[in-house]
Chain A
Amino acid sequence: MSYIAGVDIGNSTTEVCIGEAGRDGHVHFLASASCRTTGTKGTLANVHGIRTALKQAVGSMGRQMGDLSLIRLNEAAPVIGDTAMETLTETVITDSSMIGHNPSTPAGAGQAVGELLLIENLVRAKQGVSYIVAASSAHSYEEVASLLNAVSGRLTITGLILQADEAVLVENRLTKKIPIIDEVARIDKLPDGVMAAIEVALPGQTVRMLSNPYGIATLLKLNAEETRTITPIAKSLIGKRSAVVLKTPGGNVRENVLPAGEIYFHAKEAGRESTHAGFSYSHTKEAGRESAHADISSAPFEDFHSAGSSERVSSVNLDEGADKIMRALEEAGTILDISGQPGTNVGNMLSRIKRGMGELDKTEGADIRITDILAVDTLAPVLVSGALAGETCLEKAVGIAAMVRTQKLPMQEIASQLHEELGTEVTVAGVEAVMAALGALTTPGIMLPLAILDMGGGSTDAALISRDGNVAMTHQAGAGELVSMLIETELGLGDRHIAEQIKKYPLAKVESLYHMRMENGQMSFVEESIDPRFYGRVVLLTEEGLIRIEQDIPMEKIVQVRQEAKRKVFVTNAFRALKRVAPENNLKNISNVVLVGGSAEDFEIPEMLMEAFAPYRIVCGRGNIRGSMGPRNAVATGLVLSYVGEEK
């Protein structure tokens, strides 16, 4: 009796599967485990992760590492993915011309016009002139209120701007009610003696006068020419609960388009990448025990075309947006390589991932190319430069995932290192996509021809196995990591870890110490009171308990961003990948799609894909490897199965 271990090293997880090979060519699966890939896929650093995963699996069988008779590593697809974000626009406020923000508690309501006056200069104020007073946090609410009350009979004070969060406190003590805006951080930047208009929206509403160019013109008495220049200010105040607009000569809000750089596609005439591997496979279930055998007659290798005279270069500017970039990519034909304009962000990113791959593949004259990119439009909240109250503005940005490939990863080195450490025989066997297909075929209810969609962390891979065993496959840039990056930027989290958690877990809002509302509207009550740290917060429901989201973002917004990010990446990529492997590039020629890989475990991605594929009459669903493992472990399972095939 011999124990065979299959090991699959992925971009983000390493998975193992241990099977017992019987003499009759049947396999009994005994254990499986997974852990995080240590280091970049295909490097010696992976050995540590492999050992951890193997130890887990062997331990769960109650055996020792030495009991393993053979370890089979996958010939990992020599592709790695990377992501980058490029902001395309930038908003600049010149001359501190406006404040527009949403303080939690402004006071009063309505609009007012007046000359800006610092509270220290109140004694210098003239009668008959309207003033808007600004007070720094050095003055307490009582002081501000009493100073204003003292002069209220003599001077006309129409509005108040505060640095501290004390608008309500001041208003409650004023004899004459005026609109008050608070939490304006950079009050020192307000120019004295300039005409200003101030507005606080009615409860539940947003500013109306200052978000309308004619409204500003009315309040500040502007002519037609000035009204035209003030339009961007009005536009940027839409949706705010309070606002101040200053009439400064050079004051404006500008949207700068940042130089983003070009992407160059080096392509040859249109064609389809296809590899062939003849293999036969049968799968039976006997007495509740699962057995399978397979036979791989030839391993497929991808064809590398050298950049010859037929190479055609086309280019697209990043600031044209994701749609244009993706169309240019499609029109370019078969991509040989992709590069970026030197000295720009995109150029640096593309050369960085090439260099990263160069460190992995140290063979002389290694042929390293970027063969695919996925561009996604996004909006990122960026702090406006020149802002007085920490305002942010949604700036256009493009997220890019790129896929770099070489001929071969140094898997043999990992194998010999592992052999040295464990003393067990280690072989490198089987191409990843074929192994994944073999593993996926253990899902109950499956028949050939079959398409598998392997959605991992770094790449989305598709393989199509025809009835006669031919395999066509493709690797597409963009998967789970790009989704995390999109969530991180669109929500302005500045933390990749929490973005990944948001991707993985459903949300809830803690409404009292004893109940919370799930994102689907369902209520959940608890016996023991919830920790007050979570009170009123949006939280993630994880296996280990609640995780608090620090930022004050409504739950609905997070749900929307999360789902949109997943759609933008996975639905787009699923169509792209399947089209490339489908006979005649037509999706209608595919009948079954099995989803495997880490992202297939996601709680909503498979449903999104099912919905998207419904019009094509495709049976699509999450794989269930060996009828029990869910969508994970396909490659590792395939590796064990293929061993039996080879032995025969």
Chain B
Amino acid sequence: MIIKKPAIFIYTCQADSRILKEVCAGIEEEGVFFEVSEQKEEDVDALAWQAANDSMPGSGIGICRTTAAFQMRGLKKGRNVESYQNPARQQSRKLGADSARAVKKQAFK
């Protein structure tokens, strides 16, 4: 039996390191696991959608350069729950926290 860790997947493509760091901090503060992996895909909608579908709890984030999006499994590609272009520090943090809250079945911030 293969047991997957219930982690949020973060698919990146040349992601801005400051954004990625704040997103991860947001997830960590909520106490949820996450895994980051670099992809070839450059479309942020596709990154987020794929991450959500690959993640065991169905919560994924895509970050391409300075664009970030949060998706949940079951939603159509492009219909992101939350997305930002050039997010501020607090916005990146919120995006991460919300993806974790989705796993915890809590309301978003």
Interface residue ranges, A against B (CB under 8 Å): 104-105, 141, 165-169, 172, 511-514, 529, 532, 535-537, 552
Structural contact, B108 and A529, CB atoms closer than 8 A: no
Interfacial chain A residues near B72, Cβ < 8 Å = 513, 532, 535
Structural contact, B106 and A169, CB atoms closer than 8 A: no
Structural contact, A532 and B29, CB atoms closer than 8 A: no
CA gap between A535 and B102 in the complex, in Å: 8
Question: In chain B, what residue has the closest Cβ to A169?
Answer: B29
Given contacts A529-B74, A536-B105, A536-B106, contact A169 B31 (CB under 8 A): no
- Provide a sorted-by-A list of 16 A–B residue pairs whose CB atoms are within 8 angstroms: A104-B106, A105-B29, A141-B25, A165-B29, A166-B25, A169-B28, A512-B74, A512-B105, A513-B72, A513-B75, A514-B74, A532-B108, A535-B102, A536-B107, A536-B108, A552-B107
Give chain B's interface residue range (CB within 8 Å of chain A). 10 to 19
Interfacial chain A residues near B102, Cβ < 8 Å = 535-536
Structural contact, A532 and B81, CB atoms closer than 8 A: yes
Within 8 A of A (CB), among B17-38: 25, 28-31
Structural contact, B74 and A167, CB atoms closer than 8 A: no
CA gap between A468 and B109 in the complex, in Å: 65
Structural contact, B74 and A168, CB atoms closer than 8 A: no
Interfacial chain B residues near A535, Cβ < 8 Å = 72, 81, 102, 107-108
Structural contact, A529 and B31, CB atoms closer than 8 A: no
Structural contact, B107 and A537, CB atoms closer than 8 A: yes
Interfacial chain A residues near B29, Cβ < 8 Å = 105, 165-169
Q: Within the complex, what minimum Cβ distance (angstroms) separates A212 from chain B?
A: 28
Please give me the 6 A-B residue pairs with the lowest Cβ-Cβ distance, nearest first: A536-B107, A532-B81, A513-B74, A168-B29, A537-B107, A536-B106
Interfacial chain B residues near A532, Cβ < 8 Å = 72, 75, 81, 108
Within 8 A of A (CB), among B79-109: 81, 101-102, 105-108
Interfacial chain A residues near B81, Cβ < 8 Å = 532, 535
Structural contact, B107 and A105, CB atoms closer than 8 A: no
Structural contact, A529 and B25, CB atoms closer than 8 A: no
Structural contact, B75 and A529, CB atoms closer than 8 A: yes
Question: In chain A, what residue has the closest Cβ to B101?
Answer: A536
Best-buried of B29, B74, B101 by chain A (most CB within 10 Å): B29
Q: In the complex, which of the residues A168, A513, A529 contacts B30, with contact meaning CB atoms closer than 8 Å?
A: A168
| Beyond A532-B72, A536-B105, A536-B108, 20 additional pairs, beta carbon < 8 A | A104-B106, A105-B29, A105-B30, A141-B25, A168-B31, A169-B25, A169-B28, A172-B28, A512-B105, A513-B75, A514-B74, A529-B74, A529-B75, A532-B75, A535-B81, A535-B102, A535-B108, A536-B101, A536-B102, A537-B107
Interfacial chain B residues near A514, Cβ < 8 Å = 74
How many inter-chain contacts with C-beta < 8 Å in the A-B complex?
Answer: 43
CA gap between A536 and B107 in the complex, in Å: 4
CA gap between A511 and B28 in the complex, in Å: 22
Interfacial chain B residues near A513, Cβ < 8 Å = 72, 74-75
Question: In chain A, what residue has the closest Cβ to B25?
Answer: A169
CA gap between A141 and B25 in the complex, in Å: 9
Q: Within the complex, what minimum Cβ distance (angstroms) separates A320 from chain B?
A: 40
Interfacial chain B residues near A105, Cβ < 8 Å = 29-31
Interfacial chain B residues near A165, Cβ < 8 Å = 29
Q: Within the complex, what minimum Cβ distance (angstroms) separates B99 from chain A?
A: 11
Interfacial chain A residues near B31, Cβ < 8 Å = 105, 168
Interfacial chain A residues near B75, Cβ < 8 Å = 513, 529, 532
Interfacial chain B residues near A168, Cβ < 8 Å = 28-31
Question: In chain B, what residue has the closest Cβ to A532?
Answer: B81
Q: Within the complex, what minimum Cβ distance (angstroms) separates B48 from chain A?
A: 12
Q: Within the complex, what minimum Cβ distance (angstroms) separates B61 from chain A?
A: 14
CA gap between A141 and B74 in the complex, in Å: 34
Q: Within the complex, what minimum Cβ distance (angstroms) separates B55 from chain A?
A: 14
Best-buried of A166, A514, A535 by chain B (most CB within 10 Å): A535
Interfacial chain B residues near A536, Cβ < 8 Å = 101-102, 105-108
CA gap between A512 and B16 in the complex, in Å: 31
CA gap between A172 and B31 in the complex, in Å: 10
Question: In chain A, what residue has the closest Cβ to B76?
Answer: A529
CA gap between A166 and B29 in the complex, in Å: 6
CA gap between A141 and B29 in the complex, in Å: 10
CA gap between A385 and B108 in the complex, in Å: 28
Interfacial chain A residues near B107, Cβ < 8 Å = 535-537, 552
CA gap between A513 and B103 in the complex, in Å: 12
CA gap between A143 and B107 in the complex, in Å: 30
CA gap between A570 and B28 in the complex, in Å: 49
Interfacial chain B residues near A104, Cβ < 8 Å = 106
CA gap between A168 and B102 in the complex, in Å: 18
Interfacial chain A residues near B106, Cβ < 8 Å = 104, 536
Question: In chain A, what residue has the closest Cβ to B21?
Answer: A142
Q: Within the complex, what minimum Cβ distance (angstroms) separates A483 from chain B?
A: 26
Q: Within the complex, what minimum Cβ distance (angstroms) separates B57 from chain A?
A: 11
CA gap between A537 and B109 in the complex, in Å: 11
Question: In chain A, what residue has the closest Cβ to B70?
Answer: A532
Question: In chain B, what residue has the closest Cβ to A552?
Answer: B107
CA gap between A167 and B29 in the complex, in Å: 7
Question: In chain A, what residue has the closest Cβ to B30?
Answer: A105
CA gap between A165 and B31 in the complex, in Å: 12
Question: In chain B, what residue has the closest Cβ to A537?
Answer: B107
Within 8 A of A (CB), among B30-63: 30-31
Interfacial chain A residues near B108, Cβ < 8 Å = 532, 535-536
Q: Within the complex, what minimum Cβ distance (angstroms) separates A570 from chain B?
A: 32
CA gap between A552 and B107 in the complex, in Å: 8
Question: In chain A, what residue has the closest Cβ to B73?
Answer: A513
Q: Within the complex, what minimum Cβ distance (angstroms) separates A106 from chain B?
A: 11
CA gap between A104 and B81 in the complex, in Å: 22
CA gap between A165 and B89 in the complex, in Å: 13
CA gap between A203 and B84 in the complex, in Å: 34
Interfacial chain B residues near A552, Cβ < 8 Å = 107
CA gap between A625 and B31 in the complex, in Å: 58
CA gap between A262 and B106 in the complex, in Å: 46
Interfacial chain B residues near A167, Cβ < 8 Å = 29
Interfacial chain A residues near B30, Cβ < 8 Å = 105, 168
CA gap between A480 and B76 in the complex, in Å: 43
CA gap between A513 and B71 in the complex, in Å: 12
CA gap between A309 and B108 in the complex, in Å: 66
